[in-house]
Amino acid sequence: MISFFFPVLTPLIVLLLAVAAGSCSAQDGITVNGQIVSPDMIALGRQIYRQGILADGKPVKAHVMGDIEVFGTQFTCLNCHGRSGMGGGEGKTFTLAINPAALFAPRDSMYLERSAYDDESLEACIRQGETPEGTKLTPEMPTYDLPDREMTALIAYLKTLSGTFSPGLTDGEIHFATVVDGGIDPADRMAMLAVMHSFFNDKNAKTRNERKRSNRGPFYQTYRLKAYRKWVLHVWELHGPPDTWAAQMDNYLHKQPVFALLGGMVQGSWQSIHTFCENREIPCLLPNTDRPGGIGTNDFYTLYFSEGLRLEARVIATDLIRQKRPIRVLQVYADKRRGKFGALSFTNAIDTSRLISVKNWQLEQGEVFSPEKLSTQIRASAADSVILWLPAKTITRIDFTELKKMIKGQVYLSSTLLDKISPRFLDRLETQVKLASPFILPKNRQAVFKRIAPWLRSRKIALDRRRILGQTYYACMILGEGLMHIKRHFYRDYLMDALDHGNAKAIFSINYPRLSYGPGQRYLAKGAFILQKNDDGKTSATWIVPRM
């Protein structure tokens, strides 16, 4: 809401506008106009800030550009100032910080000088768009018709916003954790941790004398030098069923708070960890998972590479729906495996389609797949097309020439489930066999992997888990870029706000061809290829971004 738009502000000025962190704690002893404000009122202020909704559920009324009527749901505070309230840039426009250190301190000896806001002048700013001196803010800054109660609630919330540094920080260290469980492949675990430890060691190596500079550097670079922290990695080992993981992670967190979770991998769904991080407002950056948690309306803290198997399912559904004809589909998957997640995701994706009908063949635990059983299931379901959510060792036993004779439509496969044999399997594709793949095309993978191969070799890291190596390295790099952006303003929300504008680093992705960042976008890869061999023997690649 309290948006201050100016055409050109340097990043240095923006940083100086949010100088030292304020002393207000999250909700203790917050006063507005001399009265202590209850936690319920602060929660109402958060609702107004993030959603633009009043206590009665109606949207806040506002005006922009002087006299254009809009709703607060269209121009929320969050949209411009970020969830952290620390502001940021969009093109040539910078939105200033509105945390306590910025609002309730004078801005002098710099551009756009003004005296400190107090509760009264802040009310005037929000309602009339004026500084404490009565100077009008730019017309892009909306003015809001807030009742007195809601005004008190909003000001109280602003006094809690990025007021103290987030947990996981000391004067010399910043702590992170990665999550692993006992069910993952030991070689996968080793590959991920090897990259993390090497990256952290590189970051902490004093080759550029960061520690000395942070203590002895010139005063005019204080804003930059005081950001130096040694990175410390903790490995959270999880055991038992997923419904016990939250308690285990709480125990780790109690022993040593962390600023963020980085990477990580578990055998099954990521949902338990996703929920944990959302509930405790801890950033969770780019885990190695093909079964991510579902993103809720207000979820903010977990950033994924893609929807994994859910993305492949939605892309297959889109490819079938585009054919604009009735199609009967048989899905084949194993019980309690990743394939079941893909099959359920496909069923959800075609829920509103009147043209696509689905029958499922679920292989029970211990049931052996055979081409003969598949033929029986195809005849019983009268299937036109087949989706095989099966692992590589099963797929390699199928005679696709014979399978094509049984159906008049297509056979769909998952590159995620084919895993490392996926590139080689392209040679077996035929005109009716399609492979859904969110990854960089096989012909380009070797060249792209060369971006990190020398770094890996120099640290004696084996190159045989390339997807995990590439994803983990990228996650570490993005964490570094985010911390570089927020400098010494160590707020978890500010880190996530900063990462929402990470498009410049998308080109360094080792695995995914088209990553895109943006506020509210928690899956970076939005689409996938459908790979298919044409009649001329060449492989075509159709890029599909499914409807949201």
Q: Is the pLDDT of residue 208 over 80?
A: no
In a domain, 267, yes or no: yes
> Of 103, 127, 158, which residue is a domain's last?
158
Q: Is the pLDDT of residue 546 over 70?
A: yes
**pLDDT for the residue 212:** 60
The verdict on 187 and 207 lying in the same domain is yes
Determine phi and psi for 542, rounding to 5 degrees: -105, 120
DSSP E strand boundaries for 72-212: 88-90, 93-95, 143-145, 173-181
Bridge partners of residue 327, in order along the sequence? 356
Q: Is the pLDDT of residue 28 over 70?
A: no
**525, 543 in Cβ contact below 8 A?**
no
pLDDT (tens digit, 9 = 90+) per residue, 65-80? 888 988 888 889 998 8
The verdict on 278 and 359 lying in the same domain is no
**260, 176 in Cβ contact below 8 A?**
yes
pLDDT (tens digit, 9 = 90+) per residue, 391-425? 888 888 888 888 888 999 999 999 999 876 666 66
The verdict on 424 and 472 lying in the same domain is no
**pLDDT for the residue 16:** 36
- Which residues touch 534 (CB under 8 Å, ≥6 apart)? 431, 540
In a domain, 180, yes or no: yes
The verdict on 52 and 142 lying in the same domain is yes
In a domain, 515, yes or no: no
Q: Is the pLDDT of residue 273 over 60?
A: yes
> Of 158, 189, 220, which residue is a domain's last?
158
The verdict on 297 and 316 lying in the same domain is no
pLDDT (tens digit, 9 = 90+) per residue, 256-265? 999 999 999 9
**pLDDT for the residue 276:** 98
The verdict on 321 and 301 lying in the same domain is no
Strand order in the sheet with 93-95: 5-6, 93-95, 88-90
**317, 410 in Cβ contact below 8 A?**
no
Q: Which amino acid is at 228?
A: Y
The verdict on 328 and 289 lying in the same domain is no
Measured distance CA(517)–CA(496) in Å, rounded: 11
207 lies in which domain range? 173-306+446-505
pLDDT (tens digit, 9 = 90+) per residue, 330-351? 999 987 778 999 999 999 999 8
In a domain, 168, yes or no: no
Bridge partners of residue 529, in order along the sequence? 437, 543
Share of the chain above pLDDT 70, in %: 88
pLDDT (tens digit, 9 = 90+) per residue, 309-320? 999 999 999 999
**pLDDT for the residue 211:** 59
Q: Give the chain's mean pLDDT.
A: 87
Total of domains in the chain: 3
> Of 158, 189, 205, which residue is a domain's last?
158
In a domain, 327, yes or no: yes
The verdict on 325 and 398 lying in the same domain is yes
Determine phi and psi for 400, rounding to 5 degrees: -70, -25
**pLDDT for the residue 380:** 95
The verdict on 216 and 297 lying in the same domain is yes
Q: Is the pLDDT of residue 118 over 80?
A: yes
**pLDDT for the residue 334:** 87
Kindly give the pairing relationship between strand 88-90 and strand 93-95: antiparallel
**pLDDT for the residue 296:** 87
**pLDDT for the residue 216:** 56
In a domain, 218, yes or no: yes
**309, 413 in Cβ contact below 8 A?**
no
**pLDDT for the residue 533:** 85
pLDDT band at 213 (very low <50, low <70, confident <90, very high): low
**pLDDT for the residue 385:** 95
The verdict on 407 and 334 lying in the same domain is yes
CATH number at residue 489: 3.40.50.2300
The verdict on 227 and 327 lying in the same domain is no
pLDDT band at 7 (very low <50, low <70, confident <90, very high): very low
Measured distance CA(479)–CA(483) in Å, rounded: 6
**pLDDT for the residue 18:** 40
The verdict on 487 and 535 lying in the same domain is no
In a domain, 466, yes or no: yes
Q: Is the pLDDT of residue 175 over 50?
A: yes
pLDDT (tens digit, 9 = 90+) per residue, 450-486? 999 999 999 999 998 999 999 999 999 999 999 998 9
In a domain, 164, yes or no: no
pLDDT band at 93 (very low <50, low <70, confident <90, very high): confident
